[in-house]
Structure 1
Amino acid sequence: MTNTCNLLEEEIKTTPKGPGRAGKDLERINKGMHMKLPIHISESKKRPEVPRQAAKLATEAGIILRRHIPVLPRWNKLQHEQDHHSNYIKKKFVQFFMDTTSKPVISACADMLRSGRRQMRYKLKKKYFDNVPESQRITKSPMSSMDDNQWAELLKLWSSPQHIETCLANQRNREKIRMYQRTGSRCYVAQAHAVRDKFKDAEPTAVDLFREFHSSRKTGSVSETVQKALDDMEAMMEEPV
């Protein structure tokens, strides 16, 4: 088992990134600027504010995660057992100019790794476990970045009564959501930066951003629930402090 882990770790550190369309696009940008795309993450932020930086960082993070990072049942295993977090940041540094020792960058990369791993685990469960008869479930890992033992751990987790109950509770909670953001795949910080031009010299308020993020992209309209929330916030802001 130790030899397998060592080989897996060595593969993660040495396997080059394929050419891929997303990778070629980033390489074209770096070549045009004659430098690597700079990434700046402000203190207390989890993503870059500039939309292009946020988009390219998220794309590259997804490529690294899919090709080199195994999907383990628990975040603490991914973070501590094989030091994938450190390797994850190093692989990002190959394509970007950023300070990998700063706390905002480390924190942002950890958050992207954690959320990306959770999303990958959800997709794997949906494709290979949900609505699949037990006799037809695959026992070998469907990803090159995971070995069969790691895949078996995931199957064991998904089959546990505690996990099943947690999934049902989360499903019930999602059904209670009445207002959905309409920002697409762009993160909140980047979207807030992108809409600044619409307000010209004035800094958008929390109410302005709430309206922008919950409006239909096609018609610009909002639902009755969102409109009521906007009316309540505006009335609250007009009250004397």
Structure 2
Amino acid sequence: MLRRIELHSCAPSSRWRTTSTAGSHRRTSGQWTTQTVKSRSMRRMRMWGRGRIAVVLCLMLALLVPIVLFATGRLTLNVTASVPVGLYWLDRFDSRTALGNGRLVLTCVPPAAGRVALARHYVESGSCQAGETPFLKYVVAGPGDQVVVSAAGVAVNGERLRISAPLTRDSVGRSLYAEARMYRLAAGNFWLYAPEVRSYDSRYFGPVAQVDILAVARPLFTEHQR
């Protein structure tokens, strides 16, 4: 009789411990799963945070670099019709720089021409001697070349440039003057030109001195490159 009671009394205890142990395992497993999810979520949040910081830094850098390049004179924006509208990279010009025909340059013009351009708002205020911004123009003739200006256009060494006939009035009716004459360009002198009917270039004010040329320009992004 006693043996039966002992066996009977032990059975429920054994079942209770088993159930309790199983429940403990389930709770432990549940806790481990929750901690894993939280850990993964925190890692994702940290990665997302780092990604956002990286994007912000890249945007700041993308904005800062052009500002620095403009401020240091390595970039210029052209909005005139003389050359394609867009951004241009500037290589500093000095006496060792070769200026072959067709090179695009950033240059100041003779002071009298600069004052006219500024007064008539052909250009904005800038750093040149007469207070105007520098011009972007093509070099089409240099020392030793012969340039002839006539009502029909500009001829370099006997070859007429297209769209080079000087106008007698600008777009709002103000008078323009181009002296009909022949030039033999001296050392250090260059002829500026742009293939645009209203380009304000050497056809109106003659050659420019080498010391007035500031940089050689190269297109980075222009309307013709789209």
TM-score relative to the length of structure 1: 0.24
TM-score relative to the length of structure 2: 0.25
Higher alpha-carbon Rg: 2
More helix by share: 1
